[in-house]
Amino acid sequence: MRILVTGGAGFIGSHITDRLVSEGHSVSIIDNLSTGKAENINKEAKFYKIDIMNPRIERIFKKERPELICHLAAQMDVRRSVADPQFDAQSNILGMLNLLENAVRYGTRKVIFSSTGGAVYGEDGPIPTTETHPPQPLSPYGISKLTGEHYLFFYKQTHGLNYTVLRFANVYGPRQDPFGEAGVVAIFTQKMLRNEQPVINGNGMQTRDYVYVEDVVDAVTSSVYSDVNDIFNVGTGVETSVNELFSLLRDVTGTNIKEMHGPAKKGEQSRSCLSSDKIKKTLEWEPGTPIREGLTRTVDFFRKRL
33-53 burial: b if 16+ Cβ within 10 Å, else e: eebbeeebbbeebbbbebbbb
Q: pLDDT at residue 80 above 90?
A: no
Per-residue pLDDT tens for 27-77? 999 999 999 999 999 999 999 999 999 999 999 999 999 999 999 999 888
Amino acid 119 reads A
- Residue 180: what pLDDT? 65
- Is residue 207 within 8 A of residue 273, CB to CB? The reply is yes
Q: pLDDT at residue 178 above 90?
A: no
Per-residue pLDDT tens for 181-201? 668 999 999 999 999 999 999
Residues 212/218/220/224 CA torsion (nearest 10 deg): 180
DSSP codes, 183-234: -HHHHHHHHHHTT----EETTS--EE-EEEHHHHHHHHHHHHT----EEEEE
* Average pLDDT of span 288-293: 97
Angle 37-42-44 (CA atoms, 0-180°, nearest 5)? 150
Per-residue pLDDT tens for 222-243? 999 998 999 999 999 999 999 9
Domain 2-169+211-234 CATH class label: alpha beta
Per-domain boundaries in the chain: 2-169+211-234, 171-208+238-305
Per-residue pLDDT tens for 1-36? 999 999 999 999 999 999 999 999 999 999 999 999
Beta partners for residue 274, in sequence order: 129
- Residue 182: what pLDDT? 66
Which CATH architecture is the domain 171-208+238-305 placed in? Alpha-Beta Complex (3.90)
Q: Is 141 an annotated catalytic residue?
A: yes
DSSP 10: S
Pick from 172, 171, 116, 128: which is nearest to 280 by CA? 128
φ, ψ dihedrals at 8, nearest 5°:
-75, -5
Q: What whole-number distance in Å separates Cα of residue 132 and Cα of residue 125?
A: 10
Domains 2-169+211-234 and 171-208+238-305 share a fold: no
- Is residue 34 within 8 A of residue 52, CB to CB? The reply is no
- Residue 118: what pLDDT? 83
The catalytically annotated residue of 141, 151, 172, 210 is 141
Beta partners for residue 167, in sequence order: 115, 233
Q: What whole-number distance in Å separates Cα of residue 160 and Cα of residue 29?
A: 24
Q: What whole-number distance in Å separates Cα of residue 36 and Cα of residue 301?
A: 17
Q: Roughly how many angstroms between the first and final C-alpha of the chain, as a whole number?
A: 37
Kindly tell me the burial class for residue 143, based on how many C-beta atoms sit within 10 Å of its own C-beta (0-12, 13-18, 19 or more).
buried
